[in-house]
Structure 1
């Protein structure tokens, strides 16, 4: 035990032995600065300095933009851009899914492969949205006041915002004898009107050409969109005079009659009228004879 105590005293004496650090002028040997130190003081000062440097560096990296210059740390601006791009990409994918469903429905109209109403673009858009049960749909006080104001303004409006098929002024695309009528059970979603070859086919109402192309079954086909989810379809034409995206007026020539496509047996026009994806009997609104 005595030996151990002596060893401890010797170590303590070494730590507490005082030393003098002197800085002299080399030419005159004049004493400029002097410090009294011991090993314990030096150890404490070095330890505190190290801890301070580590803490300062950590704060500098964690709470300042300087961390972006350290390899391995991502830039804040890049993170924001990445989040924005991810959101934009998700929105574009959603729009593409809706449009693809819509185009698939149009192709089914062209080929006649439609059993019942399978598509409504409004319902497709709604399906991409949140479940209303998960969202608070109760109107706010400001919303209620706005609705009342709009209702008062619309009370005496002369125009209706949503037209039905009956609200349109329809123009007969051709005049002739109806050889095959509208029959959903037979998957005949329009009517066949016998006309001379190369007779002019006219647009039943003003609108935009949604599609103008050739198909093996129905030959030259043109589809015109008239707004309010109403479209008209003209099949088995010998040629088309309008292209996709062009604006047309009611009664304007858009094609010439023919007998193109594998499903045609003679010169005629196969005409279809659709509303919200539902086929409608055109003879309820248009006089072809």
Structure 2
């Protein structure tokens, strides 16, 4: 015990023993600065300095842009931007896939390419529809009353436009004699109407122009999209009065009769009507007289 006590006193004496640090002028040996130090003071001061240095470094890393220069450390802003870009990329891929499908449909209409006289009737928006089996479709009382009122009004509505009703009549795009009718077996999904060159061609219904360009086979072509998944196609035109993206009213002039394209046989309008992605006989909906 005596040895341990003596050893402790010796350690304490060494830690508290005073030393003088003197700074002298080299030429005159004049004392400029002097410090009284002990080993304990040096240890405590050094520890506080190291702790302060670590704290300052931590603050610089946490709250200043200097942290971005540390290898392996990424900026929070860059992470957020990367996440936003990932979401935008996914959205762009979805839009691109939708656009490609849409263009494939337009291309199919232009070429009249139908396998086995049938087209895929799936809507372009099918992927965005909600599964009815996951939704409670039980009508409430107010809904039932509204349905009954609408049904009563529609019963006497002379302008009901429903393509499932084959007696529906659209606006006639052109008056003239029919030189070739609709023939699905021969893949002629249109009605050819002969008329003089530059005779105005009109829109069969309100809609938007989704294609208005020149094609080698069918000359100047204009395609319109209408309500109820209805698409009207006008080929072999002499000129086009509308451009892609234009909103057109029923009966508005959109083109003029011509004789353009390699597959033409004379001045006429090649008119097609597509419902839900499949060709239908225009004579069931349009009176060309």
Normalising by the residue count of structure 1, what TM-score does the alignment of the two structures yield?
0.71
Of 50, 66, 70, which residue of structure 2 is paired with 1:69?
A: 66
Provide closer, same or farther for how the CA distance between residues 138 and 114 of structure 1 changes in structure 2, counting only shifts above 3 A.
closer
For structure 1, list consecutive stretches of 5 or more residues without a partner in the other structure. 1-8
Moved more, 192-201 or 230-239: 192-201
5+ residue gaps in structure 2? 1-5, 23-30
Tell me the secondary structure at the aligned position of residue 211 of structure 2. strand
Q: Which residue is equivalent to 2:163?
A: 165
Q: What is the aligned partner in structure 2 of residue 235 from structure 1?
A: 235
Contact 2:169 2:287 in 1 (8 A): no
Match of 1:151 in 2: 143
Structure 1 position 151, deviation (Å): 3.0
Q: Post-superposition shift, 1:215?
A: 0.4
Instruction: Decide whether the 8 Å contact of 1:170 with 1:286 is kept in 2.
Output: yes
Deviation of 1:229 (Å): 2.3
Structure 1 residue 80: deviation in Å? Answer: 1.9
* Counterpart residue number, 2:126: 123
C-alpha separation in 1, matches of 2:184 and 2:105: 16
Cα distance in 1 between the residues matched to 2:60 and 2:143:
58
What is the match of residue 113 of structure 2? Answer: 113
Change (3 A) 1:260 1:33: closer
For the 8 Å contact 1:121–1:276, the answer to whether it is kept is no
Q: Verify: 1:85 aligned to 2:81, yes or no.
A: no
Residue 194 of structure 2 corresponds to residue 194 of structure 1: yes
The alignment covers a number of residue pairs equal to 257
What displacement does 1:171 show? 1.0
Cα 1:226–1:138, aligned 2, differ >3 Å: closer, same or farther?
closer
Tell me if structure 2 keeps the 8 A contact 1:258–1:267.
yes
Q: 2:17 aligns with which of 16, 19, 24?
A: 19
Q: Which residue of 2 aligns with 1:5?
A: none
RMSD over aligned Cα, in angstroms?
4.1
Match of 1:6 in 2: none
Separation of aligned partners in 2, 1:233 and 1:149: 43
Between the aligned partners of 1:148 and 1:22, the Cα distance in structure 2 is: 96
Residue 105 (structure 1) shift: 1.6
